[in-house]
Chains A and B, each alone.
Chain A
Amino acid sequence: QKEVEQDPGPLSVPEGAIVSLNCTYSNSAFQYFMWYRQYSRKGPELLMYTYSSGNKEDGRFTAQVDKSSKYISLFIRDSQPSDSATYLCAMSGGTSYGKLTFGQGTILTVHP
Chain B
Amino acid sequence: KAGVTQTPRYLIKTRGQQVTLSCSPISGHRSVSWYQQTPGQGLQFLFEYFSETQRNKGNFPGRFSGRQFSNSRSEMNVSTLELGDSALYLCASSLWRGSDSPLHFGNGTRLTVT
Contacts and interface: CB of A to CB of B under 8 A. Distances in A.
A57 to B, nearest CB: 17
B107 A43 contact: yes
Interface string B70-107: 00000000000000000000101010011110111111
Interface residues of B, number: 28
A32 B100 contact: yes
Contacts, number: 70
Contacts of A102: 42-43
Contacts of A104: 42
> Secondary structure at chain B's binding surface: helix, strand, loop or mixed?
strand
B31 interface: yes
B58 interface: yes
Nearest to B96: A97
A88 interface: yes
Contacts of B64: none
A17 interface: no
Nearest to B106: A43
B4 A105 contact: no
Interface of A: 31-32, 34, 36, 41-46, 49, 51, 88, 90, 92-94, 96-105
